[in-house]
Amino acid sequence: MTNCVLCKDELKPEEGQLIWRGDDCRIILMNDPELPGFCRIIWNHHVAEMTDLTYGEREHLMTLVFAVEEAVRHVMHPDKMNVAELGNMVPHIHWHVIPRYKDDAFFPGSVWSNKINQTPALALEARMQKLKDLPAAIREAISRLN
């Protein structure tokens, strides 16, 4: 597919930071000031649905998703985790791993809903401090998989 935003390798700083890349997947720490710790696990090849992958590929992808979730929980200490594979707008397999807090701007709705709150500035500042440790924690979690 041409013009798929998830097929491109280059990221602008405002889009996020590449944390890890393997042959089949890459992990991006999204640059979302409302949701510090939001990660995206992207299948490197243009494939639209999980059932298009082999069983081994599915297991590999989900193992990475769970490693990222574990690292995010350990570093960010959220109240809840949202893990979703939607792809409604981009037909390219990617998983969202999002730490959620009772005081975040969207809680209890989805992060794609309208903001219903204003996250307290001190809470966001504390989360941004924790965020500095997240890339290393994700890489460490993945290194333990081998």
Residue 1 inside a domain? The answer is no
pTM over 0.85: yes
- At residue 1, the pLDDT reads 55
Residue 79 phi, psi dihedral angles, 5° rounding: -75, -30
Residue 9 inside a domain? The answer is no
Per-residue pLDDT tens listing for the chain (146 residues) = 567 888 777 777 778 999 999 999 999 999 999 999 999 999 999 999 999 999 999 999 999 999 999 999 999 999 999 999 987 778 889 999 999 999 999 999 999 999 999 999 999 999 999 999 999 999 999 999 97
Residue 26 inside a domain? The answer is yes
Q: Is the dihedral of CA 85, 91, 93, 96 positive or negative?
A: negative
Kindly report the CATH number assigned to the domain that includes residue 43: 3.30.428.10
Residue 43 inside a domain? The answer is yes
CA distance readout (Å), 68 to 3, 73, 119: 27, 9, 24
Residue 72 inside a domain? The answer is yes
Residue 66 inside a domain? The answer is yes
Residue 132 inside a domain? The answer is yes
Amino acid at 139: R
Q: Which residue from 97, 95, 94, 121 is spatially nearest to 34, judged by alpha carbons?
A: 121
- At residue 10, the pLDDT reads 75
Do residues 109 and 116 lie in contact, with contact meaning Cβ atoms separated by under 8 Å? yes
Domain ranges, residue 96:
16-143
Query: What's the number of domains the chain is made of?
Result: 1
Residues in Cβ contact with 115 at an 8 Å cutoff, skipping those fewer than 6 apart: 34, 105, 106
Residue 7 inside a domain? The answer is no
